[in-house]
Structure formats: C-alpha cells, structure tokens
Amino acid sequence: MTNFATHLSEGLKSLALTSLFCLVIAFATHTIWLSPLWEHILISFGYGYSAIVIAYLLQWSSRQWTKRQISVISIGSSMALGTANAYYWLSKYEKFSNFSQMKPVIILGFIFLAACFLYFYTYKQKLLTQKELERAKRIQAEQEKALLFSQLKQLQSQIEPHFLFNTLANINALIDSDAKNAKLMLGKLTELLRERLKQSRQHNSTLEGELELVDAYLAIQKIRLGERLKYEIINHCSENFNIPPLLVQPLVENAVQHGIEPSSTGGWIRVEASEAKEQVTIKVLDDGIGFGYADAHPGQGIGLENIRQRLNTLFGSNALMSLKKSLTGGVVAQVTILRTSLESLEVKMDAN
C-alpha cells in the first residue's frame, strides 16, 4: 500500500511538471504561429501526455523494460502520436496542409520531448540517490544501535557478578559466626536476585524499582553490619522515570565498602532522588571515612566505571556522574540526567 501511494505521488508530480512544460511550450509556439492559443495547448499536451502515459504503461507492464528502452520507445511513440495530433489540428491551415510541411513542428516536438525526458531522467536519478542515501543512513543507525545495546549488555553483565560475588562472600563470612543472620541474608539475596531476574527480561528499569533494589541491598548489609550501618532512602520525584538498570546500586555499594565498612564506628547512608525542571538527580551520601580509604584514584572501580560508560553510551553529554567530598567527611556520589533523555529512554530501548 505504501509503494502504491509513493508511485501515485510520483506519477501526479510528473503529470504536473509535464503540464507546466506543455503550457510553456504552447505559449512559446503561440508567439511564432498566430493561431488560437487553445490549439497550441492541445498540440503541446498531445506530445507531452502521450510520452508520459506510454512511459508509465511500459513501467507497469509485466515485462522488465530498461530505462533506455522505456525512453526510446516513449519518445518514438509520442512523436508519432503527438505529430498525428498536431497534423489533425494544423492541416486546415494552408501552411500545414501537406504532411511534409510538418517538419518544423516535428523538430520542435522532438526537442521538447528530449528536454522533458532529460529532465525527468535527472529527477529520477536524484530521487534514487536520495533513497539510497536514506537507506544507507538507516542501516548505519541500526548497526550503531545494535552496537550500543551490545555494549550496554556487556557492561551490565560485568556489574551483576561483581555485586553477587561480594554478597556471597558476606554470607560465607557469617555462616560460622552467625548462622541465623546468614540464613536471613541468603533469603534477602534470593528476593533480590528474583527481582533482578524479572528486570533482566526488560530493557530498562524504573526509578522506584532501582530504589527498591537498593533497599534490599542495604537490608542485606544491615544484617551484616548491624548498628554500624544506618540508612534512609528518599524519593522526591513525582514521576517514576525510566532509568538504566543497576544505576544506583553500585554507588551505594561503593559507599558501604569504602566509606562505612572500614570505619570503626560505622555511619549512615542516604539515597536521595529529586527532580528539577530540566533534570533528575540521584545522590548517594555517606559520612564514612571518605577518600582516605579509597585507592589512589578513587571512584575508578568496575562498578563506578561501568556507570560512567553506560551513561556516556546512552545519554552522552546529557548525563554526568561525579564523586566529591561531603561536608560530613564522607563522599557524595551524584548522577544527573536531563529529563528529556530519561523520557525518551523507553522509546530507545523498545526500538531495539
């Protein structure tokens, strides 16, 4: 149906351009031969319309004609039909009473038809070039999109084992010293993995879903650290935005491992999600020991580096992750993404 509409549109456009050419030729010949204008119009349209009708009949026929064959047959046939039509209207004049006197009309008709076919050939070539360019751009966009999601899946697969192995190590450490809490932590981990498995079947997550996963993760760490860990999760956003999966948890995990856990007194972690007119911000704050315990290049662990890569791949300059020292002595990890990018995230993912 779409191809038919395209061909119909192109046909109507060609008909309109041919009519314009015919009118121009009719007015031009009228200035040379002072016969009624309507006769010049009929003669000019006889050449032009016979050419375009024959060309389209050949295109729609069952035989596959080449463009050169269509042009030659159309010009030859339209010359014959157009000249016969012209002789019908001009034969009543003494100047054209004999068919041999039609030579100027035939020459002018041939020049007119050749100019028309040259124009339409150039026009068609331009259309074909544009279509090929659009097709090439579409293929390139699809390839880039496939590469994008391949990279995202690879990055996400690196994050999930990173968290899982750490949690299993925590459970293993508790088995001998506190079997009850080890069992409780294993139950929490099962709930967490069940939710992650459900989300893995989707291309993206939601802000509320990610905060629920963070809550489950912190509950697991709370079992292990006891009173040394306090936490709260605050969501000030009025919308449940789509966000990439496992965007918040590595920030929280980093706060636990490098801020709270090495501190002799422990500390607190606060996760805040807020929205402004143009952007959405997710903060993970802690009052741990800060960068003093971190590596020489803080924030370059696999989890945080993956967040940077995923944000850059998905949003480019429309998203930013930063780590800085907190006024409380700990660290503030912050992710900021433009609202428009989050609103279009589901469309991007579904397109894959």
pLDDT tens for the chain, residues 1 to 352: 445 566 566 667 777 777 887 788 788 777 877 778 888 888 888 887 887 777 777 777 767 777 777 777 877 888 888 888 888 888 888 777 777 777 888 887 787 777 777 766 666 667 667 777 888 777 776 766 655 555 555 545 554 566 677 678 878 877 888 788 888 888 878 877 776 666 655 667 889 988 988 888 898 888 878 899 999 999 999 888 888 887 888 899 889 888 898 888 889 999 999 998 889 999 999 998 887 654 434 444 666 777 888 888 888 889 999 999 888 788 999 999 999 888 877 545 444 4
β-strand partners of 206: 242
pLDDT score of 124 = 65
Task: Please state the length of the chain.
Answer: 352
pLDDT score of 301 = 62
Return d(Cα 64, Cα 281) in angstroms, integer.
Answer: 61
Closest-CA residue to 18 (of 50, 49, 63): 49
Indicate where the chain has its CATH 3.30.565.10 domain(s).
178-351
Phi, psi of 232 (to 5 degrees): -145, 150
In what order do the strands lie in the sheet containing 331-338?
A: 229-235, 267-275, 279-286, 331-338, 319-325
Q: Is 6 exposed, middle or buried (0-12, 13-18, 19+ CB in 10 A)?
A: exposed
Could you tell me the CATH superfamily of domain 178-351? Histidine kinase-like ATPase, C-terminal domain (3.30.565.10)
Owner of token pair 């789509």: 242
CB atoms within 10 A of CB 26: 19
**CB contact at 8 A, 112 and 21:** yes
Owner of token pair 């009473």: 97
pTM, 2 dp: 0.53
Closest-CA residue to 302 (of 161, 158, 170): 158
**CB contact at 8 A, 114 and 76:** no
